Amino acid sequence: MLQGIGASQGYGIGKAVIIEDISLDYSAVKYTTAEEEKSRLNKAVEAFTAETREMAEGLKASAGEKEAEILEGHLTMLADPFMLSQMNDNIDGGAVAEAAVDTVCTMFYDMFAGVEDEMMRQRASDVKDIKDSLIRILLGVKSVDIATVPKGSILIAKDFTPSMTSQINKENVSAIVTEVGGVTSHSAILARAMGIPAALSVINVTQIVENGDMLIVDGFKGKVFTKPSDAEIAEYTGKQKAYLEEKEGLKVYFNKPTITKSGAKKKVYGNIGKAEDAQNVIQNGGEGIGLFRTEFLFMDRDREPTEEEQFEAYSTVAKAMDGKEVIIRTLDIGGDKAIDYLKIDKEENPFLGFRAIRYCLKNTELYKKQLRALLRAAYFGDIKIMLPLVTSLDEVKAAKALIDECAAELESEGLSFRMAPLGIMIETPSAALISDLLAKEVDFFSIGTNDLTGYTMAVDRGNANVSHLYDAFQPAVLRAIEMTIKNAKKAGIMVGMCGEAAADERLIPKLVEWGLDEFSVTPSSILQTRRNICECE
C-alpha cells in the first residue's frame, strides 16, 4: 500500500495507465535570426491560445465554468505584455524561441513557487504548464493523449497540469494518482469538480506501479493499494457503492434549513475569490457568502482596480445573492501575497510584518477607494464589511473612522450608499485574547482558522518538519475558538467561521455546542457541512 494525500473524495478501482512525460529537449534547435525566432514564438502563442480556448470549452462541459477559468487564466497570464517582451528580449540576445520561453517562464515560476500562500504557489504550476505547452508547440511534439484511455482507467503521472486534466473523459477515469500536488492544486480542484477520486503526493508511484496493474485508490485517506486481493476489491467495491449512495442522499439538503436536532438554527455559507464565484455558492445551496477575498481583484493586473471597478464587482455579487448576506473582507495583501505595482517592501518575516489591515491603514487613499465602493455596493444588497488580521482595538477604531469619512464624502457627493455592518476576522491569538473588548466595537466576528492555527501554534504549514502541528484540533487552538465564540455570545453579536475547519466533521459538533452561528466553507462542501450540522444535537 502506498500513502499520499487524499485530494478528491471517493474510491477508484481499476487498471493503471501510466502517463509518461514527453521529451522537451530543445538543445538541437539552432538559432536563425531574431525576426525568425520571434515569428516562431508568435505562431506558437497563437496556436497555444487556440488550443487552450478549445480545452477550456471542453472543461466547461465536464467540470463547469468556474473550473474552466483555470485554463482561461493561462491566456490572461500569457497576454501579460511584460512576459512576452521579456521573451523577445531574450531572443534579441541570441536565444532560440524555446530557450526564451524556458528562461522567462522559469523566472516567473521561481517567483510564485517562493511564496508560502498555497493559492499563489499554484500559479507556479500554471506557469510551468504554459512553458511546457509553448515549448511542445515550438518543437512540434504531440501532447499526451489522455482522452482515449479505456473505461476503468486509473491515471498515474508525476503531475497533472490543468491542460492535461482538461482532456480527461470522466466516464472512463476511475481515479487519479500523482507524485506531487496537494488539496489546493489545480489538479485536485479539477478532480473534485469532475467527481474523480484523487490521491496526490504519492512518492515514486510512477516507478512502483506498472501499466495494467490492478489498483484501488482511496481519495479520502490518500491510499493506493497495489495488486489488491479479492477481499480488498470486494471491501472497497462496497465502500464505493455506499459513498455514491451517500453523495446522492446529500441532494436532499439542497436549500434545506440548517437546523440541529435540538432546533438550533445555523447558516452554511460559501467562500469566494471572484464575483462570478457567487453562482457556485448558489448552485451548491449556500445561504449566503461568508468570505469574499477581495485581494484577487488586485492581482493579475498592472494597476490597482478603480473605485468603479470594485463597486461593479461587489454590487454584482450583492445582486446575484438576491438579499442573502455577503461578507466582504477588505484587502488582505502583504505576507506572501505580493502585488508588484503596490511596491510593498520585502521584509525578513512578512507574515509578522506590514500586511492586511496594517498596510491599508497606512495607505488610506487606496483603502478609501475600496471602502467607498463597498458602501455604495451595500445599497444593492446585504453586504457586510470585514477587517482582516486585526490585533488591536486601535486598528478597528481607525477603520471605523475611515468608513465614517467615506460615508460623509458619498453623502456630500449625492451618491447612493448604505452603512454596512462592520466585523472582523479573529485570526490572531491577540484578537482571540481580547475578543471580549473587540466584541463591543463591531457587529460580528468570523474566525479564520487557517491563520489562527498557524499563528497560535507558531507553525509554517508548508514546512513538512512541523506541519503535523498545524491542526485546529490542537488544544490551544480549540481554546482560542471557544473563547472567541463565548465572548461574541456574551456581547450579543453574530460569530461565524470561514477557515477550512468550518467543514471539519470532527470539529462541527464542538462548534455547534459552543454556539457558532455561521459556517462558511468551500462551495462544494456546503451540503456535506449542512448535513453534519443537522445531525448534531
- Looking at the annotation, which residues are catalytic? 186, 498
> Could you tell me the sign of the dihedral formed by the alpha carbons of 346, 106, 126, 209, in that order?
negative
Residue ranges of alpha helices (H) inside 63-204 are: 65-78, 81-92, 97-113, 118-139, 162-165, 186-194
> 30: burial class by Cβ within 10 Å (0-12, 13-18, 19+)?
exposed
- 217/225 Cα distance (integer angstroms): 6
DSSP-derived secondary structure letter, 150: P
Rg of the chain's alpha carbons, rounded to an integer? 24
Distance CA 221, CA 11 (A): 10
Q: Distance (Å, rounded) from C-alpha 470 to C-alpha 454?
A: 6
CA distances from 392 to 264, 335, 432, 433 (A): 32, 19, 10, 10
From residue 284, alpha-carbon distances to 192, 197, 256, 257, 512 in Å are: 14, 20, 11, 13, 22
Residues in the chain: 537
Report the C-alpha gap between 71 and 163 in whole angstroms.
7
- Which position has the grid cell 492581482? 299
